[in-house]
Amino acid sequence: MRAQAADVLTFGETMLAVQVSGPLTAGGQATTTVAGAESNVAVGLARLGHRAAWAGRVGADEPGRAVLRALRGEGIDTGHATTDDTAPTGAMLRERRVADLARVHYWRTGSAAAHLTPAHVAPALSAGAAVLHLTGITCALGDGPLAAVRSAAEHARAHGWTVCLDVNHRARLWDTAAAVRALRPLLPLVDVLVASDDELAVVAGGDGDGEESRVAALLSAGVAEVVVKRGALGAEVSTRSGGHHRAPAREVPVRDTVGAGDAFCAGYLSGLLDGLDAEGRLRRAIDTGAFAVATAGDWEGLPHRDELALLDAAPGSAVR
């Protein structure tokens, strides 16, 4: 059993990730790692000194063992992760196609994570946490994972946790209409909603509505904070109490944008756990996102707490 309740509990699909340096058809050099939106957030939080727990589901196979080993190596509690003896660990292939543009291919249908149910995450919920972090990706995996997300959000709300939902819409997993049907009913259970500006239409408003009205609709639905990511233009947060704050992006060389949104979420939740105000939470989120885009990999470049100040150093300088 866990000695202390987690600061943040999350769950979802973490996959074997094959990364190709160029087009696959041209025989680009490949490397292997593990990746998943929720576990990326858990890595970011653990490196920032928080207690992070991941309760996903993997196959009884070598990729599943690699996932658990990698997450444990990052200090993440995987004590309530589960293993499926009949279904494989999912996989993804990411090829660098043009400059910093990457193309992602998935093999997730019928994976162990697609068989996740509320019963699988119940022990992790019973162990407790301060924050529950969820993403739309898990909801897209099937009826069982969607039911697990809903039951977890209901449990968290009933026990006074903070519920964070990152919309994280993946058009290759489901269409917008399916995402609307699944995610909008969750809004009354959500405290912090994170979305890129083009994802707001999935969770609020109708055709022709502007961003301001969509944000207002989310706040009226019960969401306490709506955080909008704008990439190179920074981010902003609107609160139900009427507050509104913006923060500019960090100017860093862009090397790899995959995982930047997860890094942003980790930074925002870290700021929330540390009691930072809205501006401070945005600043930390933008800083962790900057580390992600300036380094290769989904999570490998995420900062430890004592490294956050590195972004303030002059370009090209050496820390001695």
pLDDT digits (tens, 9 = 90+) for 261-304: 999 999 999 999 999 999 999 999 999 999 999 988 889 999 99
Contacts for 163 with CB less than 8 Å, ≥ 6 apart: 131, 132, 134, 153, 156, 157, 189, 190, 191, 192
Rounded to whole angstroms, what are the CA distances from 47 to 76, 147, 214, 257? 9, 30, 34, 19
List alpha helices for the chain, DSSP H. Answer: 37-47, 62-73, 118-127, 136-140, 143-158, 176-183, 200-203, 211-220, 260-273, 278-294
Write the single-letter amino acid at 117.
Answer: T
Active-site positions read 262
Between strands 91-98 and 101-107, the pairing is: antiparallel
What pLDDT was estimated at residue 23? Answer: 84
Domains, the chain, with CATH or none = 6-12+37-56+114-304 (3.40.1190.20)
pLDDT for position 313:
84
CA-to-CA distance for 111 and 182, rounded, in angstroms? 20
Q: Judging by DSSP bridges, how do beta strands 82-84 and 91-98 pair with one another?
A: unpaired
Task: Identify the burial level of 241 via C-beta atoms within 10 angstroms of its C-beta, where 0-12 means exposed, 13-18 middle and 19 or more buried.
Answer: exposed
The model's pLDDT over 18-36, given as tens digits with 9 standing for 90+, comes to 998 888 888 878 999 999 9
CA torsion 113→119→124→128, rounded to 10°? 140
Q: Is 316 left (phi over 0), alpha (psi -120 to 50) or beta?
A: left
Backbone φ and ψ for 151, nearest 5 degrees, come out as: -65, -35
Please report which residue ranges of 55-113 form alpha helices under DSSP H. Answer: 62-73
pLDDT at 2: 45
Taking 70 as the pLDDT cut, the residues of the chain under it are 1-3, 99-100
| Paired tokens of 208 | 């022709």
